[in-house]
Amino acid sequence: MKIFFDHQTFSQQNYGGISRYFCELIAGINQPSSEHQAHLSLLFSNNAYLKEKSLRAWPFFPGQPFSRTQPYLYRLNKAFNLLEMQTRSYDVFHATYYEPYFLDRIGKHPVVVTFLDMIHEKYHPVFPELAADHLVMRWKKQIIERATAVIAISENTKRDLVDYYNIPPERVRVIYLGSSVAVDDKAMEPSATAPYLLFVGNRGMYKHFRPFIQAIAPLLRSHQIRVICAGGGGFSSDETTLLRQLQLTNLIEQQPINDDSLRELYRRALAFVFPSLYEGFGIPVLEAFACHCPCVLSDRSSLPEVAGSAALYFDPENPDSIREAVGRILDSPDLRQDLIRRGRERLQQFSWEKTVRETLALYRDLQ
């Protein structure tokens, strides 16, 4: 069976959970022992995960700001996709994002689309940035009407998808994700508990970084505990002003990351904190489990579904709830060790191998 993956995600991000997912899926399908073949139709990309998985693409002005080059990159890759759709043989088309540009050219080929979250639908009235990206919701509606099969990456995402687009639940198959970051248990050297909490990824909008920091500021000052923000870019002027007002300038820092440095940050942290209002799945939770890092999580969306009883939860819109949860994790080494143990056990339910296996089963059902 030949599966055609389009360019979209790899034309839109150099890092991130969506492209990580598709890289792992494509590479998993293309294992030497596999009877199936996944083709990624991509001419140019600076995505960091492609090289890791031996997926080819030409670099596209990597020294230039991505915001400047991305529109041209996207148009070139889209044109290349449309050409390859006419010249290559394939059995299934799997879209890597929601633009339905291919629907008029797809013919009778089965179309699969993965719904990663419903953030635009749920939070566009709250965050103007999401409302401005109105095309995404229009695209989703068009593509879901034509898709042969729909994947959701959590039961929570499936429920939201069914509710917002009024589609039969049986049209949606839930396939969980995995973790690409892990530590070697045998190679782990003993280390003193590091005096920091770890925040990973983007900090804007529904990620709820600002209210979270405001809630825990008294704890950070009294315990002299740092927060390390891994990835997500440097602090904005608004964030810098906030940290200065809260007297946290010396306690909160941002660090660029790669997989190796992220692994070490998880491993040495007191805890991973995730105050997000909405996640389609939450890959960082599995990364923390894999790196023996206790998790303190928002009790919203898919996070309780993924972490189960292996995390400490708080209401992200209640400052007292946030402070109480973070205070408990700071004050109790026994609780941290218990969550590490529970996280290792919970992680056994998720793997990229399982993601690949269940996705191939879905493809076969379309034949």
Residue 50: strand, helix, or coil? helix
Cβ atoms of residues 326 and 273 within 8 Å: yes
Q: What is the pLDDT of residues 335-350, one digit of tens each?
A: 999 999 999 999 999 9
Q: Which two tokens stand for residue 2?
A: 């030949």
pLDDT tens digits, 119-165: 999 999 999 888 878 899 999 999 999 999 999 999 999 999 999 99
- What dihedral do alpha carbons 93, 94, 96, 102 form, nearest 10°? 30
Has domain 2-178+351-365 been given CATH number 3.90.1580.10?
no
SS3 of residue 65 by DSSP = coil
Q: What is the pLDDT of residue 100?
A: 97
Look at residues 16, 15, 74, 4 and name the one whose alpha carbon lies nearest to residue 40. Answer: 4
Instruction: State the pLDDT at residue 367.
Output: 86
Q: Quick: pLDDT tens for 205-224.
A: 999 999 999 999 999 999 99
The band of 81, judged by pLDDT with boundaries at 50, 70 and 90, is very high
Average pLDDT over residues 57-61: 96
Does 185-347 match 2-178+351-365 at the fold level?
yes
Quote the pLDDT of residue 259: 87
Structure confidence at residue 64 (pLDDT): 94
Predicted local distance difference test score (pLDDT) of residue 191: 54
SS3 label, residue 185:
helix
CA pair distance 234, 266, nearest whole angstrom: 19
Does 166 score more than 90 pLDDT?
yes
What's residue 53's pLDDT?
A: 94
What pLDDT is recorded for position 186?
55
Per-domain residue ranges of the chain:
2-178+351-365, 185-347
Confidence check: pLDDT of 88 > 90: yes
Per-residue confidence band for 184, with pLDDT thresholds at 50, 70 and 90: low
Which tens digit of pLDDT belongs to each residue from 231-267?
999 999 999 999 999 999 999 999 999 889 999 999 9
Average pLDDT over residues 295-311: 98
For the chain, give the mean pLDDT: 95
Residue 159 to residues 144, 286, 302, Cα–Cα distance (Å)? 15, 22, 10
pLDDT bucket at 168, cuts 50 / 70 / 90: very high
How far is Cα 252 from Cα 274, in angstroms, rounded to an integer?
Answer: 15
CA triple 76-136-40, angle to 5 deg: 40
Domain 185-347 belongs in CATH node 2.60.40.10: no
Would you list the DSSP string of 283-296? HHHHHHHHTT--EE
Quote the pLDDT of residue 132.
77
